[in-house]
A and B are shown apart, each in its own frame.
Chain A
Amino acid sequence: METTEHRIRIVVNGDAYERTVPGRLLLSDFLRHELRLTGTHVGCEHGVCGACTILVDGAPARSCLMLAVQADGRAVTTVESLAPSETELSPLQAAFRKHHGLQCGFCTPGFLVTATAYLRDVEEVPSRREIAEALSGNICRCTGYTGIVDAVEEIAATARESVAAQGETHAV
């Protein structure tokens, strides 16, 4: 069968790349095999499990349901962008570790990216139920989800506290 190749320009975690890709190459496979960013995991390849979730122009998206060629001209954010350095964890990652929000770690990148977008966009401190619904597109087989919700809940609360504290400081 006939196939095509396409030249794409893509920014991933702030770095610009230019590559030639087959039309049918999935974005998940492009990130993992072409750019060696293997933090994004591939679970079901039909959009159900959420392990492949990345941000495309800031919005969470299933990288297994996008073609690499569709990401031409776009900015992609993957789990590798979360930690401030090789030796430090982001507050969200530290919270996952503290609350046992991961065991095998396979689903974790998808949860971290989904939670990052959610915590960025949520307007008020969410209830546990709201957090669970926001994360309902990510499946975990190990943890039973409680630790994951605990971690996101902690960050949601502390983010509000630090914003409130800044407000008080400025008022003084």
Chain B
Amino acid sequence: MSEKEINFLGCKVIDGGSFSKVNVMGELISNGDLNVDELNVMGNAEFKENLNAKTIDILGPCKVNKNIKATEINIAGTLDVLGNVESTTFDSLGIVKISGDLNVDKASIHISPSVFNNIYGDHIEIVQAKHVKIHNKQFFKSNIKDYVTINEIEATVISLMNAKVGRVSGEDVTIYDGCEIDTVEYSKRLSIAKNVKINKIIKF
């Protein structure tokens, strides 16, 4: 990756490019693919093409019109992605909308009015109280009576709370209070709390 580290203050439009570190403290629009080791969005950012990064920390509003590929994504702000997201880890305390697929090893999503299309991976959890560490600072969010809405989740281990999901399929599935799920498929273990609505359960 390039040695360039760049801070964007004020309003800036770029054609994309490769950088070691990008800090967005003002407003940034990138019209081309952006490749970066470390991306910090503390202001407002819109990426009209693909975003490729090692780590992405989002504190402000961020929109990506195509796809994201990363190793680590941490969100305390808002993220709106029209394409797909691939990352090893995905940690969200903010509000997220992903129109394509989220493919991760591990996702930890705080209860929020977030909307996902499909989530695929190894460990997927929707949790009540969570902290996200960004720049060695911890951000805590208090309990919110919201729902995360997801079309489909397929993962090895799934743990859900306050989620509205069309289809859940996994090896080890735990459904906590506040969930409404159309179909749950499991292969090894299923645990269901009392206050949940599930239309269909299938063991495969």
State yes or no: do A and B come from one complex.
Answer: no
Interface residues, chain B, with chain A CB atoms under 8 Å away: none
> Hey, which bits of chain A sit against chain B, CB under 8 A?
none
